[in-house]
Amino acid sequence: MKIGITTGSPENNFATLLIHELKAFFPDFQIVILSTEKKGIRNFLRRIGFNKMMRLIRNRGNCSYLDREVKFKIGMVGSLYSYTKRLDIPYYSFSSFNAPESLKSINSFDLDYIINCGGGIFRKGFISSSKYGVLNAHMGKLPEIRGMNALEWSILKGVELGVTLHYIDSGIDTGNIISFKPLKLNVNDSIKLLRERSNLINIDLIVESFRNAKDHPILSEKQNEDKGEQHYIMHHALLQIVNEKLTYEKDNFNI
């Protein structure tokens, strides 16, 4: 099995941990990194923006669940790039996944699956560039919560929290569903903590789906279009309501 993992950044801890888990369960899997990042400090600053850079400087030393897991399981604090170098995993950089010259190379890799770990919007050519399809773990229940701020919209609308693994098609979160894993609320949960825990569930879900697959492509079901709703970036006033619900009304949640 040959898997392509996308990334838009060489510091992608999610992709690092995913590779670690996939390699632990499937040592025979061949992994290839498909990256869209441009190297160099100027491009790094352009990519993350001034505000995020200031946040990174202020929060240096603060570890997310993902950082801790990477440190604990892999014993390293470093980039995806250095981890793949250590494991001798091929790392290919492209200006865009959708450019004709990129597609030509990607098609030549003969990938079975591609797993989305970032890197931008995928067009039709890229979506069909692997044998079985592109997998994406979405932080909300599909088809009910498609789109942006899925976690926040789930809380506002009282929809069960969790992660959905699905195939990517040309729509936004409209592809066939493989599986759903619920996310239980803890007493001290905040949006940030829930998002971090969702990331770990995303990885579990991807690995589990490969472990449970009796055949390929991994079985999936069409989404129920009647239930499908697209969501966009949540206004800060509604975000505040969500945070207050999470802080003061957790016991009343029906999710």
Partner 1 sequence: MKLNVSYNYPQGVGDIDAEIVSNFRKMISPSLGALLNSDINKQAIDRLLLKVETNKKGLFGKIELWDEKPKIENTIALVCVFNKSFVEENDYRLLNASLKLLDLLMEDYYESIPQSFWPILKEEIDFILSRDFAL
Angle at CA of residue 58, ends 54 and 63, nearest 5°? 120
Residues 179-238 that bind partner 1 (CB under 8 A): 229-235, 237-238
Q: Which helix (H) or strand (E) holds 54?
A: helix 41-58
Give the C-alpha separation, 219 to 135, whole Å.
12
Is the CB of 125 or the CB of 147 nearer to partner 1? 147
Strand 133-138 versus strand 162-167 pairing type: antiparallel
Is the CB of 118 or the CB of 228 nearer to partner 1? 228
Please report the sign of the dihedral spanned by the C-alpha atoms of residue 169, residue 174, residue 179, residue 185: positive
Quote the least distance from Cβ 237 to partner 1, whole Å: 4
Whether 142 contacts 166, CB under 8 Å = yes
The one segment of 18-26, 44-52, 63-71, 150-158 that binds partner 1 by CB under 8 A: 150-158
Is the CB of 1 or the CB of 241 nearer to partner 1? 241
Quote the least distance from Cβ 151 to partner 1, whole Å: 15
Q: Is 157 an interacting residue with respect to partner 1 (CB under 8 A)?
A: yes
C-alpha distance from residue 238 to each of 23, 148, 152, 187, 193 (Å): 41, 14, 9, 21, 19
The verdict on whether omega for the bond into residue 143 sits within 30 degrees of 0, i.e. cis, is yes
Q: Is 123 an interacting residue with respect to partner 1 (CB under 8 A)?
A: no
Q: Is 68 an interacting residue with respect to partner 1 (CB under 8 A)?
A: no
Q: Is 240 an interacting residue with respect to partner 1 (CB under 8 A)?
A: yes
Q: Is 89 an interacting residue with respect to partner 1 (CB under 8 A)?
A: no
Is the CB of 76 or the CB of 233 nearer to partner 1? 233
Select the residue interacting with partner 1 from 156, 174, 200, 202 (CB under 8 A): 156
Whether 157 contacts 129, CB under 8 Å = no
Per CB under 8 A, residues contacting partner 1 are 153, 156-158, 229-235, 237-238, 240-241, 244-245
